[in-house]
Amino acid sequence: MKKLCLRSPAKLNLALDVLAKRSDGYHELKTVFERIDLCDRITLWPRADGLVKVICSHPQVPKGPANLAAKAAMLLKQDLNLAQGLNIHIEKKIPVAAGLAGGSSNAATVLLGLNRLWKLRLSQKQLRDYAGRLGSDVTFFIYDVSYAVGEGRGEKIRPLPIPTKLWHLLVTPRVKMLTKDVFGRLNLDLTNKMDSVNILLPYLRKSVPSAIGPKLANGLEPAILSLRPDFARLKKKMSDAGACGVCFSGSGPSVFALARSKQHAGQMKARLDRRFAQVKIVSTL
């Protein structure tokens, strides 16, 4: 029985601007995505009964049709009138509901994997179209790039040919923070209207962490802190540990500190309290 094993990487948002509320209920965004080396492992293999099954030991990962990876497989099956069944095993390393797009990455990885496993010969444009139907962050992972600008809901992707490799200390509090709750707290009248993305990009291209750090920005931060004011202390703690800059990723609760090097990230990690259980050193992938 043929099995296909693939890595499914997480992302960080180095800058995120929330521009307006859209008529479809979503928000108009502009963001800089960074792909990082924190990865789930996805294994795909066929099953004879035509069903799509998710296998995962993580208690917070849906095992049924609500799982975004399963939705990706079902979308292809229904759209292309395919009879094949599929097992999707997810070895979960990316924290769930943490602003790191683990579910979106899993869905994109299944699309890419099934294009190979089922020999569908879908073009990248077709894969992007399917990804956009599944979720806002899914499309970024269709591209094999380290950085990209995302616009619209985040699904309109412009790859950035930037060779910069960054190191971060990533802390994910053991709190499930739902995107809809964060956006529900967002007050666009009070949101900083700076164009954080275009401010960041020239510094990102120059590859100097000490210059990049102060330009990290997330327009969702006020909404995140309105839900969890205690996270401000976490940010300060990471900043006091010597970070070049500290920022929430996506809708949180993950917070990342930009380091000067891998060694510097290790030094910051050593300074943090042991009570932060989910602390990882990650880098650009």
Let me know whether 133 and 9 are in one domain: yes
Give the span between the Cα atoms of 269 and 273, in whole angstroms: 9
Let me know whether 129 and 50 are in one domain: yes
Q: Which of 117, 138, 160 is the last residue of a domain?
A: 160
CATH value at residue 78: 3.30.230.10
Let me know whether 16 and 101 are in one domain: yes
Let me know whether 207 and 257 are in one domain: yes
Residue 279 Cα to chain centre, angstroms: 17
pTM of the model as a whole: 0.95
Cα-based torsion angle of the residue sequence 76, 77, 82, 88 in order, rounded to the nearest 10 degrees = 100
Let me know whether 202 and 134 are in one domain: no
What does residue 47 show for φ and ψ, rounded to 5 degrees?
Answer: -130, 150
Q: Which one from 137, 215, 235, 237 is the annotated catalytic residue?
A: 137
pLDDT in tens, 91-129: 999 999 999 999 999 999 999 999 999 999 999 999 999
Distances in Å between the alpha carbon of 124 and those of 94, 115, 189, 243? 25, 10, 38, 38
Active site residue 11: yes
Give the span between the Cα atoms of 243 and 168, in whole angstroms: 9
Strands (E), the chain: 4-21, 27-47, 52-55, 85-91, 147-152, 156-160, 167-171, 217-218, 245-248, 255-259, 279-283
Question: Using CA of residue 8, residue 169, residue 214, residue 28, what is the dihedral sign?
Answer: positive
pLDDT in tens, 216-251: 999 999 999 999 999 999 999 999 999 999 999 999
In one-letter notation, the amino acid at residue 250 is G
Overall size of the chain counted in residues: 285
Give the span between the Cα atoms of 33 and 153, in whole angstroms: 13
CATH value at residue 223: 3.30.70.890
Give the span between the Cα atoms of 259 and 36, in whole angstroms: 14
Let me know whether 178 and 267 are in one domain: yes
Let me know whether 142 and 171 are in one domain: no
Let me know whether 145 and 249 are in one domain: no
Let me know whether 37 and 72 are in one domain: yes
pLDDT in tens, 128-150: 999 999 999 999 999 999 999 99
Domain count for the chain, please give it: 2
Let me know whether 128 and 264 are in one domain: no
Let me know whether 199 and 274 are in one domain: yes
What is the 3 state secondary structure string of 184-221? HCCCCCCCCCCCHHHHHHHHHHHCCHHHHHHHCEECCH
Let me know whether 113 and 249 are in one domain: no
Domain of residue 219 covers: 167-283
